Amino acid sequence: MKKFLLAISLFTAISAENQIVPPKQDWSFAKPNGTFDRAALQRGFQVYKEVCSACHSIKLISFRHLKAMGLTESEVKALAAQYQIKDGPNDEGEMFERPGRPSDYIPGPYLNEKQARAANNGSLPPDQSLMVKARLYGADYVYALLTGYEKVPDNFKLNPGQYYNEYFPGHAISMAPPLSEGLVKYNDSTKPTVEQMAYDVSTFLAWASEPEMEDRKRLGIKVLLYLLLMTGLFYATMRRIWQGIK
């Protein structure tokens, strides 16, 4: 077990050493009492749905989870109904498809790993549910990756089907640049620049990785206030008990 933990530590250290530190972004959720920007979340989900979902899944997020982003119950139901969900077996023992329900998890673009690899030249597009928590530097890394595609340096060699990305470890990435100016049309008329779309979808993926974050922070603040109050009471009690003893 100790050897296994040592190997994991060494792998993490090597990965961190070989990765360029991405610039820090101003995230509304990064502060100790920070919250998610609901408008950015909804725009980010739109970017995921119209762009990223063609290759990447978010298998740990259900439609009803999206209510936390500010969507109403009717909007969630309407969104879920746009998807066809495989269900069954029915009374005849056969599988069937039905419109999605709020309780369903958002389906991915592929039925299985082999189909995903076959559609992407052998590469497996990772699930995005925990992407921000799984990557060093979190949302900063995701934003930097999406905006870090550059012209290949003269002394750098790429294999066919690869692209140069400044912030991807090793710089050779199989994912083509997913964002371009005006790729989506935001419902709130926000200008869809590459930087704006990258920021919004990074915010959404940060929420998807930890949808309970705001509740956790609120609880943490209450616990700290409670501990502070009890510390004061215990100190006052101690002073009163020992005040007559020199």
C-alpha torsion angle, residues 52, 58, 63, 68 (rounded to 10): -90
CA end-to-end span of the chain: 54
Structure tokens at 40: 């950015």
Q: Burial level of 145, CB count in 10 A (0-12/13-18/19+)?
A: buried
Instruction: Give per-residue pLDDT as tens, 196-230.
Output: 999 999 999 999 999 999 999 999 999 999 999 99
Q: What is the pLDDT of residues 17-37, one digit of tens each?
A: 567 899 999 999 998 889 999
pLDDT tens for each residue of 223-232: 999 999 999 9
pLDDT score recorded for residue 10? 45
Among residues 159, 126, 121, which one has the least CA distance to residue 55? 126
Residue 52 sits at the vertex; the CA angle it makes with 171 and 114, to the nearest 5 degrees, is: 80
Q: Distance between CA 9 and CA 23 in Å, rounded?
A: 24
110-167 pLDDT, tens digit per residue, is 999 999 999 998 889 999 999 999 999 999 999 999 999 999 999 899 999 899 999 9
Question: Rounded CA gap, 144 and 171, in Å?
Answer: 12
Confidence of residue 13 (pLDDT cuts 50, 70, 90): very low
Q: Alpha-carbon distance 131 to 205, whole Å?
A: 7
The answer to whether residue 246 scores a pLDDT higher than 70 is no
The pLDDT assigned to 18 comes to 62
Whether the per-residue pLDDT at 109 is higher than 70: the answer is yes
Judged by DSSP in three states, 86 sits in: strand
Is residue 184 within 8 Å of residue 51, measured between CB atoms? yes
